[in-house]
Amino acid sequence: QVQLVESGGGVVRPGGSLRLSCAASGFSFSDYGMHWVRQAPGKGLEWVAVAWFDGTDKYYADSVKGRFTISRDNSKNTLYLQMHSLRAEDTAVYFCAKDTGSDYSLDWWGQGALVTVSS
């Protein structure tokens, strides 16, 4: 059974940093692209970033480019999202999600980690 478990969420001040982790199990982690998607309170889904297979290819939403870094450790079956220069508008539940293959459709999702940026 596929499982994705996020951790590392919390409260951080504007301008601060935070690192999210997503522990994966139940599938061959290195064979799939992995994404981060966020959802601000009461709002819709917003795609954040993807890291493909060995992590060499990474792409970001314009809203986080230059501030967030996605990475993966295939030896630990873990996906990361390092977030810097956080803003109030980054407040959201952050989901990690597994790609079905290479078509940007997401077939398994974690339960989400809440990040609150507030002074």
Which residues make up the interface to other proteins (CB under 8 A)?
35, 37, 44-47, 50, 57, 59-63, 95, 100, 103-107, 109-112
Considering the complex, what minimum distance in angstroms separates the CB of residue 22 from other proteins? 12
Which C-beta is closer to other proteins: that of 54 or that of 62? 62
Min separation Cβ 3 and other proteins, Å: 12
Backbone angles phi, psi at 31, to 5 degrees: -90, 0
Least separation, in Å, of the C-beta of 75 and other proteins?
25
Nearest to other proteins of 94, 119 (CB atom): 94
Rounded (5°) CA angle 71-56-6: 20
Q: Which of the 8 DSSP states describes residue 103?
A: S
Cβ atoms of residues 93 and 38 within 8 Å: yes
Cβ-based nearer residue to other proteins, 54 or 103: 103
For the bound state, the minimum distance from the C-beta of residue 107 to other proteins, rounded and expressed in Å, comes to: 5
**Does residue 95 sit in helix, strand or coil?**
strand
Q: Is the CB of 17 or the CB of 105 nearer to other proteins?
A: 105
Q: Where are the alpha helices (DSSP H) in the chain?
A: none
- What is the identity of the amino acid at 11? V
Report the distance separating Cα 51 and Cα 62, nearest Å.
15
